[in-house]
Every structure is written in C-alpha cells, then in structure tokens.
Structure 1
C-alpha cells in the first residue's frame, strides 16, 4: 500500500529497499515535493523500478583481504549490485563508489563485468601468482537472476576448472544447479565447496527480506541436489536478525543436514553506513510492532550502537544475546554432526597457470 505522503518510503513488490537515498559520497541531495495535485498518490503514476544492467570493463577482478574474521583471502564478484534485493545486505553501501544509491539503485542498477574471464585469465597467468581458494560471491550473489543471461559466473568456473584452481561459492539462488556439471567434476579433484545461505524457513518473511532470491524450501532442495551430485555443500545461517528470524536457526540446520549439508556457519546482521537507515525503514514497514525490539537487540550485540566494525565481534556480535545465539548454534551443530566451514581443505597443488590466448595456437 502506498503512503499518504508520496515522498515517504514505501514497500515495493519484488524490491527490498523502500527508498533510494543518496550515497554518503554525494554532495547533492534530492527531495520530492507534492505539488498539491496529488498526482503522485496514484499507483499508475509511479512505475515499478526495472532492473538495468550496464556492461563494465574491469581492470582487475581478484580482490584480496587480510581480515582475520573472513575465511578466505581471495575473491571475485562478477556483478556490482544484486537483484536479490536483500534489505540486510552489508554490500549495499559499496554502490556509493559508483555514485549510485545503496537503496533501490543497488538492486536495480547493476554492473556486469563482461571481461571477467579475460582479466581473470591474465591475473592467474602472472608470474609469481600463488594459488589459494577464490571465493565467488563474497560481496554480491554470483547466481542472482541476471546471471541467467550474462553467464559470467559460468565463464569464471570454466576457467578455474581448466586450470585446476580451487574455489568456494556462496549463493542463495537455485540457479547454481545449472553448473553442476562443472562443479561435480571439480569436486572430484577437491577443488570446490558450495555454501547455500538459508536464514529462515518462513516464505512470507523471506519474500520481504530477500524478495528475488530463491525461496527457502527451494534452497534446501538445492542443497540436496548438490549433495546427491557429489558436490561438498554447506549451509550458512546468515544473517541472523534477532527477534525476526533467529527462531528458525535450529530448524534450518536440521533440514539442511537432512538434505546433505555437512558443514555450517552463521553470522549476525551487520548494518554499516547507510544500511542502518534502510533497515530501519524496512522494519517500520514490514515489522512495525517488533521494530524497536529488533533494534534494541541489534544494539545490544554491537556495544550499544547500530553497528560495531570491530573484527573481533562484527560477525558474531557481543553480549548476552550473542552468547545465546552462539550456544544454540553449537548445540545444534553438535546434535547433527556438522563440521565447521573453516575446516574445509581444498587442493591447490594441481594448479596449472592458464596459457595466454594466441591466434597461432599452442605447439607445446
């Protein structure tokens, strides 16, 4: 339902954000004003935002990090922005570097790195390159809906498979099943592990939290499909939002294990930069009676603030409620026999640097 005030945030079907605020780097601010004719109050005068994808020529595609709370040091992200529209996505503020909004722009104005495979080949071919598992999907989902057309994740996997390079994948989209032929072959060489993110089992809640991601029950089926194909698969209960989806933690772990997941991890919700405002808007629209309680618990896990960036606590939180979540997770994992996501060991010893493309072909 659209608000009486046409300039106020409101829920849009199929989108997570309720507004499109300027990023923190912008020097100009825009504000809509009602001219008194009430023309903006008519639904037909406000078109639904469509997804637009712009081609981007990347100069580099492997990003590196040394954060002690992240289990990989290399990553690639085929897309900037994510059509899934998850309101809690910590990557939303990164759209500000493109002079775009972390709100609706993040989920509707995407960038596709169309030369990803070409640049990745060049980076893997560099003299002195030391292989270690590359995570695909650390920032935005590599299997978001636009991947059906652009197939950039598929292209990256084909190259990694050709040169026997290990990788991990994080996704919440069943589209990953499309690439099971590649993934199964890589799994036989200990080159791949897939993590499916499932943070709730309530389809109605998921449709608002993650409007264009696969439904939770569909993700559980994906875990089973991958496991049946011999592909190592884990589940990430992430993020856990207190008083909103934390009650489903044990049920998610139980169903994921029954489907074939053998390792598990979790994180709590993180609200950096503009995400604080966007998430509060979402709560006011979709969970108004619980909004204050949710934010109170979030602040308790962040030392009294909406977000604490301390590497020691940002992923799991601090305080009594965070300790309770940790204990619940540990008990459930022990009950079902889950291993830890960090215990994964992939083989980088068989890596063969890709050859530079040549019009003369390869003689030796």
Structure 2
C-alpha cells in the first residue's frame, strides 16, 4: 500500500508467481508464522491491515530466545463485546437474493482460509489473517436491537439472512448463545429468516426452528465444501466435518425444516470435481434446494489463499490460479455484479451446466422456497402509549 512504512524485519517466504511476467514477483513477500502457535488455524499470516499507516513486523535482533515461533504462546481466541448502532445490515446488490442480514459476530473462529469476509477486519485496525479468526467481536445486545429495529415506524418485512458474512453458529456461540434470543424475537414477531451455516450447532435450536417453520418462516442452508476430510480440515480447520454437516442436513430435513446445500466455494482443480458427489450426498440426506458460488479472492484474501495453496497443495498452485484467473478476466478477482459469484468464460459455463444437469438429475427443486410475510406483527415501540387492557 502506498505510503505505508515498514518497521522491523520478519521471517518471510518468497513465493514465485509464474503468472507475473514469468518471473518471481519481488514484492510478493508474505510474513508467516510457523509452528505450534497456529495449530488449528486457517492461515499462517497476520500481516497488518491495509488501512494502517505502518506495517508492523517483529525484529530478529540476534539475541535469539523469543524469536523462535515455537517459544511464543499459541494464538488464543479472544472475544470483545460491542454494541453496534444497528443490527440489521442493508444491501441493494442485484446478484444477492436478500436485502437485509444480521451478523451477531465479527470475525469467525472457523478459520476458513477462503472467507471473503476476512478483509472486513481491516476496518477494525486488525489483520485479515490470524486476527480475523482469533480476535472476535460479539454483539450481546443483538436481540434487543433487532426488536427495536423491527418496531421502527414504516418497517416492512422481508426475509432476514443470517450467516452470509460470518457463521452465527461458530464455536463461540456455545458460550454467548446469541442465536436463541434472536430466533425468539423472530418467533414473537412472525418475521421470516434464512440461515446459512457450516456448523452442527444449529441443531441446538431445532425446536425454535420448528416453531418458525409452522408458519413457513424459516429455511436453512448448510455449506459443504468437500467430502474429503483432509481437504475440509485444511480449508476450514474449526468447522464441522463433512459427515457432521450431512448429518445436520438429515436431522433438519427430518424435522420438516426446508433445507438446502450450498456447494461453496468452488475452487477450480481442487474441489470442483466433487460437485456432483456433494450434491448427491446432500440430496440423499434430505436437502431439496442447492446452490454454488465460485471462489472469491477480494483484497487480502488473495495472498492468504495463495500462501495456503503453496503450503498445502504446492503442486496444484499453478493450475488452480491459472483456471481461476481465466474465469476472472485474467485477475485474481472480479468484483463486478453478476460476475463475482460465478465468473465468466468456458470454465464458468461448464460449471454452470454441470450444476444444472446434476440438480435436474437428482431432483432438486427449480424454485426457491418463498417464506411468508403475512404473519409479521411488529413489537410495541418504546414510545407507544400503554393500553389499559
């Protein structure tokens, strides 16, 4: 970043990118953390956020000792509580099937290396790398804020999406239990909700989901990236195993809750060959709708993912990035509406056709479940006159 000063030197790894004029890119030096400090984490980089005026890096002063990563304490999950001005986030993107969402948490302990939400931590003065999965923010007043916003004059109900940025059922939800209170508000007000997760923890709230489903107010999507345990653990180190996700689909479907599978992200030459197998396994488990999204590499996610590839699948690095760039107009990422979710070109067209053929063959629904809006009953406003009866 222009204008950013660097303080100190850190152990670095130089990665040769064969697609930068066929030569090593001299600026592609990625600070990395090695050893037991990052066991169970998705990335090994904690590079300073892009909005910070200084690039901070620890210095090897020659005295040894704490310079050895293994002698330093491991990265622990830290959670700060925050009170945001609003809990419902709005968007008007034409390629997103919802216009409002709730994120009970900032950052995500699942540690998915590909997560497109990682760059949002830069706005907190933190790194999109290890900070994103270890320095988390919880919103304990989320349910109270939601109730207040639903009570606002002129509020018109539309399905609220939860889990589209960070997972609401990530591990710290076991302690904070924000989702039960949020679901209680939605039950009380008759408001529709669509939930996306890759965690089996959602089954804790299955009784609340059943109540919502009695009035057609809920649907759930499970994200399944791979059926390969090794690949899944490397990509999503603290998320539920593929088997547990399929079992979660099965239990939700058995409870009558509309359940779908999201095969995402599709990573060319890494998990794209599993598309049909994932769809088949999810359908057998009870999913009746399906979707897919191409890998997105905005801002800091691109170098993080490339470093992950070189660490775990160095033999596939060139092939994965070559195909992905061919689907993104020669770039790591194309943020244009209509392109960012699926890419363009022959590879994107083939993936789209494979998805369509597999869904038709298996019997997935061609139309999305439409949630009901007719039951919405806003909570009383704080300024409302009290009634006598």
TM-score (norm 2): 0.89
Question: How far does residue 319 in structure 1 lie from its aligned partner after superposition?
Answer: 1.1
Aligned counterpart, 1:61: 87
Aligned counterpart, 1:218: 244
Using the alignment, how far apart are the partners of 1:9 and 1:291 within structure 2? 20
- Work out which of the two has the higher radius of gyration on C-alpha atoms and give 1 or 2: 2
Given that 2:91 and 2:100 are in contact with CA atoms closer than 8 Å, whether structure 1 keeps it comes out as yes
2:28 is the counterpart of 1:8 = no
Classify the secondary structure of the residue corresponding to 2:54: coil
Given that 1:10 and 1:19 are in contact with CA atoms closer than 8 Å, whether structure 2 keeps it comes out as no
Given that 2:49 and 2:126 are in contact with CA atoms closer than 8 Å, whether structure 1 keeps it comes out as yes
Using the alignment, how far apart are the partners of 1:357 and 1:118 within structure 2? 12
Classify the secondary structure of the residue corresponding to 1:310: coil
- In structure 2, the CA distance between the partners of 1:317 and 1:10, relative to structure 1 (3 Å rule), is farther
Using the alignment, how far apart are the partners of 2:11 and 2:85 within structure 1? 46
2:189 is the counterpart of 1:163 = yes
| Correspondence list, 1:107-146, <5 A | 107-146=133-172
**Equivalent position to 2:259, from 219, 223, 233:** 233
Using the alignment, how far apart are the partners of 1:224 and 1:133 within structure 2? 24
Aligned counterpart, 2:61: 35
Using the alignment, how far apart are the partners of 1:64 and 1:215 within structure 2? 32
The count of corresponding residues between Structure 1 and Structure 2 is 360
Given that 2:297 and 2:332 are in contact with CA atoms closer than 8 Å, whether structure 1 keeps it comes out as yes
Using the alignment, how far apart are the partners of 1:34 and 1:243 within structure 2? 39
Aligned counterpart, 2:18: none
Using the alignment, how far apart are the partners of 2:189 and 2:307 within structure 1? 46
Question: How far does residue 267 in structure 1 lie from its aligned partner after superposition?
Answer: 0.2
Question: How far does residue 37 in structure 1 lie from its aligned partner after superposition?
Answer: 4.2
Question: How far does residue 284 in structure 1 lie from its aligned partner after superposition?
Answer: 1.1
**Equivalent position to 2:73, from 14, 38, 47:** 47
2:180 is the counterpart of 1:180 = no
Aligned counterpart, 2:277: 251
2:108 is the counterpart of 1:79 = no
Question: How far does residue 42 in structure 1 lie from its aligned partner after superposition?
Answer: 4.2
Using the alignment, how far apart are the partners of 2:213 and 2:358 within structure 1? 27
Deviates more, 1:180-189 or 1:26-35: 26-35
Given that 2:32 and 2:46 are in contact with CA atoms closer than 8 Å, whether structure 1 keeps it comes out as no
Given that 2:111 and 2:236 are in contact with CA atoms closer than 8 Å, whether structure 1 keeps it comes out as yes
Using the alignment, how far apart are the partners of 1:327 and 1:32 within structure 2? 49
2:222 is the counterpart of 1:196 = yes
TM-score (norm 1): 0.95
**Equivalent position to 2:315, from 271, 289, 296:** 289
Aligned counterpart, 1:316: 342
Classify the secondary structure of the residue corresponding to 1:290: helix
Aligned counterpart, 2:50: 24
Using the alignment, how far apart are the partners of 1:65 and 1:237 within structure 2? 23
- In structure 2, the CA distance between the partners of 1:229 and 1:127, relative to structure 1 (3 Å rule), is same
| Correspondence list, 1:263-278, <5 A | 263-278=289-304
Question: How far does residue 40 in structure 1 lie from its aligned partner after superposition?
Answer: 4.8
2:375 is the counterpart of 1:350 = yes
Given that 1:236 and 1:265 are in contact with CA atoms closer than 8 Å, whether structure 2 keeps it comes out as yes
Question: How far does residue 44 in structure 1 lie from its aligned partner after superposition?
Answer: 3.8
Given that 1:4 and 1:41 are in contact with CA atoms closer than 8 Å, whether structure 2 keeps it comes out as no
- In structure 2, the CA distance between the partners of 1:357 and 1:227, relative to structure 1 (3 Å rule), is farther
Using the alignment, how far apart are the partners of 1:192 and 1:363 within structure 2? 34
Question: How far does residue 346 in structure 1 lie from its aligned partner after superposition?
Answer: 0.3
Classify the secondary structure of the residue corresponding to 1:15: coil
Given that 2:246 and 2:285 are in contact with CA atoms closer than 8 Å, whether structure 1 keeps it comes out as yes
